Structure formats: C-alpha cells, structure tokens
C-alpha cells in the first residue's frame, strides 16, 4: 500500500481479520499505520467508513490478497470486480478461481513472483555471508570518484564550448547526486539489487507468456520460466541426456 501510494495509486479499501474500512476518496497509508499502531486495529479509523460485505468483491482496479491462502475461490471469483489481482499472499487463488479469472480477462500476477522479494534478499544475504564482505565496501570509493570525474568532464566540456572569459563554470551536484556520490548504504544497494532482479524477472515472465502464446496466464508463464532455467542449469552441468 505504501509503495503503490507513492506511485500515485489510491487505496480505497483495507481489510483485516477483525474488520474492513472503505473510503472511495483514498486512505493514507501512513495515517492508517499510525492509527493501527496506536489502537491495535484498523477498525474505527476516522477517515474511512466500515466496509460491509466481502472486501474481495469491492469494485477496484487492483485487488491485492495479502493474508492467507484460498481466499479467491470458484464461488466468489465471478463476483470479483477488479481488473488486476496481485497475489501478495501465498496461494490466495484456487485453481478453479484462476481459470475463471482467465475466462473473464482478469490479469492475475502470481504469488511465485509477487512475494519473491524476501527470498531474493535472503539470497543476497547468503552471498554476503559467503564473501564475508558487506555490499559496497569494495566499490564505494570507485563510485564516488566516478561521479566526481563525470562532473569535471561536464564542466570542462562547457568551458571549452563557451570559453573561460568570465571564469570557470562550476558544476555543482544536486543534493540527490551528492548523497549518492558520498556512497550508497548497504540498504540502498540491496534495494537496488532487489528492484533490478524483480524487473528482470517480470520481463522474463512476460516474454515467456508471449513466446508460448499464453495470453494473461502469467502463472503458467512463471512456472515455464523457472523450469527452463532449471533445465538450462542441468544441461550446462551435463546432467541431461
């Protein structure tokens, strides 16, 4: 909810085990988080109304089941009014519901991809433990000097073009560039690596779906993509015949 909000999405409904809230004008994630921490529940949040009925059937563009499995079933799938379903939980959609969503042209982004971030970062942690070196330690100084040389190159190019009759043309880094040039934190590097990995994986899944003419069936595409990678590793290791 936090990241979608940052990218301009409007969250209209949130559900928990003890109740759900609804506001068609939008619910601020930070305000809701502060309220939940103070009250131990989202119920009673002053900037939303209680949501009656099933939250899974509320009209919306994106539905994100993010709790437990088997929430979208053969029974309620025909009543789901979302255009996109993002499986943040493990197995929230039954096979029967998945088939119904395909028939209704509803895009389901599968759990095997959506919630893989934790496993991906665990892999990064495993690599760090093998190397006994924190991320960025070997490249901080090199990256800082690269940024400084880039600014100097721009400055010298401008001075050659316009001359130095009025003195040097200093190129000053913005606060954002200054922060990056001073050296990324290990958290920044891990987040960047996670974003890159997820973006590349999404492209691979979509390309696989297009190659096998799977349409909106991204789940099958994700499985095929994974199996092809396993087959490639076995083949390169000489385990296939």
Which tens digit of pLDDT belongs to each residue from 55-73?
Answer: 999 999 999 999 999 999 9
- Percent of the chain's residues with pLDDT above 90: 66
Q: What angle do CA 41, 43, 45 make, to 5 degrees?
A: 100
Question: What's the pLDDT score for residue 165?
Answer: 64
What is the rounded CA–CA span in Å between residue 51 and residue 34? 20
pLDDT in tens, 199-211: 999 999 999 999 9
pLDDT confidence band for 137 (50 / 70 / 90): low
Non-local (6+) Cβ contacts of 239 within 8 A are none
Dihedral angle of Cα 58, 63, 67, 69, to the nearest 10 degrees: 100
The mean of the pLDDT values for the chain is 90
Q: What angle do CA 132, 195, 37 make, to 5 degrees?
A: 90
Question: Exposed (0-12), middle (13-18) or buried (19+): which is 14, by Cβ within 10 Å?
Answer: buried
Paired with 50 in beta bridges are: 21
pTM of the model: 0.81
The edge-to-edge listing of strands for the beta sheet with 107-109 is 62-63, 84-86, 107-109
What is the rounded CA–CA span in Å between residue 16 and residue 45? 12
What is the rounded CA–CA span in Å between residue 126 and residue 115? 18
The edge-to-edge listing of strands for the beta sheet with 19-22 is 13-16, 19-22, 49-50
pLDDT confidence band for 144 (50 / 70 / 90): confident
Non-local (6+) Cβ contacts of 2 within 8 A are 29, 30, 33
Question: What's the pLDDT score for residue 166?
Answer: 66
Looking at 164-241, list the stretches that DSSP marks H as alpha helix, in order from N- to C-terminal side.
175-181, 186-211, 218-237
Q: Which of 113, 112, 67 is nearest to 92 (CA)?
A: 67
What is the rounded CA–CA span in Å between residue 1 and residue 66? 11
Rounded to an integer, the average pLDDT of 169-189 is: 75
Least confident residue range of 82-96, 111-125, 143-157? 143-157
Rounded to an integer, the average pLDDT of 20-47 is: 96
């Amino acid at each position: 909810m936090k990241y979608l909000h940052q990218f301009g999405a409007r969250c209209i409904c949130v559900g928990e085990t003890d109740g759900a809230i609804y506001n068609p004008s939008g619910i601020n994630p930070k305000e809701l988080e502060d309220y939940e921490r103070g009250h131990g529940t989202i119920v009673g949040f002053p900037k939303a109304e209680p949501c009656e009925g099933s939250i899974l059937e509320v009209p919306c563009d994106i539905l994100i089941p993010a709790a437990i499995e088997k929430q979208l079933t053969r029974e309620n799938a025909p009543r789901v009014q979302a255009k996109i379903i993002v499986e943040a939980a493990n197995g929230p959609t039954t096979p029967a519901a998945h088939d119904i969503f395909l028939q209704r042209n509803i895009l389901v982004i599968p759990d095997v991809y959506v919630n893989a971030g934790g496993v991906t970062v665990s892999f990064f942690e495993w690599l760090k433990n093998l190397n006994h070196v924190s991320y960025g330690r070997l490249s901080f100084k090199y990256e800082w000097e690269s940024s400084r040389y880039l600014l100097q190159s721009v400055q010298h190019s401008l001075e050659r073009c316009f001359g130095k009759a009025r003195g040097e043309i200093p190129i000053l880094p913005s606060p954002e560039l200054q922060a990056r040039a001073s050296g990324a934190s290990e958290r920044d590097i891990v987040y960047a690596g996670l974003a890159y990995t997820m973006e590349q994986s999404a492209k691979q899944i979509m390309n696989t779906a297009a190659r096998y003419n799977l349409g909106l069936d991204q789940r099958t595409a994700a499985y095929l993509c994974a199996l092809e990678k396993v087959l490639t590793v076995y083949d390169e290791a000489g385990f296939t015949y």
